[in-house]
Amino acid sequence: MSLPRTPEAASPPEVSATADSTTCSTAASTEASARSRLGRLVARAASDASVAGEGCARSGRRTSRRARSSSDLPRRCSLNVAIRTTIRSGRRATGDGRRATGDGRGVAEVVAVARVRRRVVVASTAGIFVESLDWTMYGLLAPYFAGQIFPGDDAVTKVLGAYAVFAAGFVARPIGSFVMGRITDTRGRRTGLLVSVTLIAVGAAVIAAAPTYAVAGPWAAVVVVAARVLQGIAMGGEVATAATYVVEVAPAERRHRYGAFAYSGDALGTLGGTVVLAVLLGVLGPDAVRAGGWRIAFVVAALCGLLALWIRRGVPESAVFERARAAGTEPAWPLLRAHAGRMVLTFMLTIGSTMGVYFGSVYLPEFAGHTGYYTEQQATSQHTVALVCLLLAMIASGFLADRFGPLPLIRAGFTAAAVLVVPLMLGVAAGVLPYAVAAPLFTTCVGLQLGVTPVAGARLFPVPVRAVGLGVPAGAAIALFGGTFLFVAEWLISTGALRLVPVYAAAGLAVSAVGSWLVSERLLYPVDTAVGTRAAEPVDPAAVAPTRPGGLP
């Protein structure tokens, strides 16, 4: 039922007519000014192109008669290109593209916003890259430093000890997911990004400087465990914080490609860890790496962490978070209880994602080495192609998700990976299927969902609990299934059950495939939803001042 209009609210006919006239004249003036500016730009481009064409013609006369006869061609080509380029930039500058004048913003402001958004993508990617680099290098280097750090009577026992510590870092992830998630949801997305990458860099530096068992005895392992727990706390909040930040800052029509580029840092970090190990083995040799060369890899990880920290210092706070904080938020615990079902779905989606990543990007070379058909070095050298396929699949999935939505990509990726992992890996184990074929196929299936699942998962929760709601179940799944995957796989192989490793991975991927079909579009919140705030509708953006210069609108 519509309310009747009060006499005071109604506008007299003459006032309305005057307003319409003023609006039309203003619009006409704006359009005329825009067309005039565009005309001047085109004329200037034509003049510049003419000068360039005459220069080309003079150069042609000095070279040959044939160049003289075609001297007009450079001029015409240069003129056409310049005019087309200028028209496009003129449209953007004058408002034909509705960017500069359509919403009242100038060219400088549009350029500034684009620059900040690019920095947002780089900052999110940098942190995820450092996380993946550090954890990948630990998994790959464990067989090399286990003999120096961990006690044991044989090499297998020491390697199992190193992998147990690898799993211990994951155990800290659920705790970190809650702690870092609450920091991100209460103090700000930017604060969460800075704290997480700082702790990751500190942990890498501690491992690089850890004493050996011969010097410190059992305390050597204690130092490494402490560093891994510190990193686990930081990394427990890294994925959820980055996903929350990207989903709130990215433009709606490019949200998933922004997220895909950011989470491509995971594949880049894995690729970087593989490259670092290959370089160390090629330059120093396996014996020198075992004797202490492995420390160089963790120094590289610490330096990359410091670089990521410097990049993240320059990003603004999320405007969506600022509006929610200005409106006032509801208590977290009731909101989390109300979204318990969505947290279960997040847990299911993360099981297959983390198992697929650690099997496909970290453990596959070692799995191939155990088959007897490849050495680990041969598999590692061929594994680069698989990592590149993982990266390309992640980026492609972001563009496809912006076009068709994220759910078809998530469902297709999980389902294909669950169905194909067993036949592909059993083919490698039997020597029937080349590793260079099986590994890229599997990582491509994993990459189809990996680039878009975190961004879609962030939309399962409202703004006040977005980071903790996504982070806690994801951290728990990563701790239970991702962190223990290397240990379980190594144990299965030590008992002679090599072929059960892909079966174990397929079971986790199947759980995520089922979870992906349980998620529907109606469960995904709008990015700026007012659910969980004390406002019935989103707060006016003009009422919220940016926390830093250049804050995104």
Does 543 score more than 60 pLDDT? no
Does 524 score more than 50 pLDDT? yes
Exposed, middle or buried: residue 45 (CB in 10 Å: 0-12, 13-18, 19+)?
buried
The whole-number average pLDDT for the span 449-460 is 91
Q: How far apart are CA 529 and CA 252, in angstroms?
A: 14
Percent of the chain with pLDDT over 70: 75
Query: Could you tell me the two tokens for 140?
Result: 């790959």
**Amino acid at residue number 353:** S
| Residue (of 269, 270, 291) closest to 280 by Cα position | 291
Contact yes or no for 52/93 (Cβ under 8 A): no
Model pLDDT, residue 69: 42
Model pLDDT, residue 74: 41
Contact yes or no for 359/507 (Cβ under 8 A): no
Does 29 score more than 90 pLDDT? no
**Cβ–Cβ contacts within 10 Å for residue 541, how many?**
13
Q: Does domain 117-329 have CATH number 3.40.50.1970?
A: no
Which tops the pLDDT comparison, 548 or 150? 150
Least confident residue range of 255-259, 275-279, 536-540? 536-540
Does 57 score more than 70 pLDDT? no
Model pLDDT, residue 511: 97
Q: How far apart are CA 178 and CA 187, in angstroms?
A: 14
pTM of structure: 0.71
Beta-carbon contacts of 36 under 8 Å, excluding residues fewer than 6 positions away, are none
Model pLDDT, residue 268: 85
- Considering 22-31, 144-153, 272-281, 378-387, the range whose residues carry the highest mean pLDDT is 272-281
pLDDT, tens only, 263-291: 888 878 888 888 898 899 889 888 898 88
Least confident residue range of 43-47, 175-179, 194-198? 43-47
- Residue 137 pLDDT level (bands cut at 50, 70, 90): confident
**332-527 has the same fold as 117-329:** yes
Q: Which residues on adjacent β-strands are paired with residue 533? A: 329
Q: How far apart are CA 369 and CA 350, in angstroms?
A: 28
Q: How far apart are CA 159 and CA 143, in angstroms?
A: 5
Model pLDDT, residue 254: 87
- Residue 464 pLDDT level (bands cut at 50, 70, 90): very high
The whole-number average pLDDT for the span 40-48 is 47
Model pLDDT, residue 107: 66
Model pLDDT, residue 106: 61
- Considering 82-96, 253-267, 523-537, the range whose residues carry the highest mean pLDDT is 253-267
Residue with tokens 């790496």: 289
Query: Could you tell me the two tokens for 346?
Result: 């997040």
- Residue 445 pLDDT level (bands cut at 50, 70, 90): very high
Q: Which residues on adjacent β-strands are paired with residue 329? A: 533
Model pLDDT, residue 253: 86
- Residue 6 pLDDT level (bands cut at 50, 70, 90): very low
The whole-number average pLDDT for the span 147-166 is 76
Does 380 score more than 50 pLDDT? yes
- Considering 5-14, 116-125, 414-423, 491-500, the range whose residues carry the highest mean pLDDT is 414-423
The whole-number average pLDDT for the span 12-31 is 41
Does 10 score more than 70 pLDDT? no
- Considering 37-41, 93-97, 230-234, the range whose residues carry the highest mean pLDDT is 230-234
The whole-number average pLDDT for the span 28-52 is 46
- Residue 3 pLDDT level (bands cut at 50, 70, 90): very low
Model pLDDT, residue 345: 96
Model pLDDT, residue 163: 75
pLDDT, tens only, 502-522: 999 999 999 999 999 999 999
Model pLDDT, residue 119: 77
Residue with tokens 């067989």: 143
Model pLDDT, residue 108: 65
The whole-number average pLDDT for the span 230-247 is 86
The whole-number average pLDDT for the span 52-77 is 43
pLDDT, tens only, 75-100: 444 434 443 444 444 444 444 444 44
First to last CA, the chain: 35
Could you tell me the residue ranges of all domains in the chain? 117-329, 332-527
Average pLDDT, the chain: 78
Model pLDDT, residue 337: 92
Q: How far apart are CA 226 and CA 205, in angstroms?
A: 12
- Residue 125 pLDDT level (bands cut at 50, 70, 90): confident
CATH of domain 332-527: 1.20.1250.20
Model pLDDT, residue 34: 45
- Residue 215 pLDDT level (bands cut at 50, 70, 90): confident
- Residue 114 pLDDT level (bands cut at 50, 70, 90): low
Does 37 score more than 70 pLDDT? no
Beta-carbon contacts of 197 under 8 Å, excluding residues fewer than 6 positions away, are 126, 127, 130, 234, 238, 305, 308, 309, 312
The continuous run of DSSP H or E covering 172 comes out as: helix 155-187
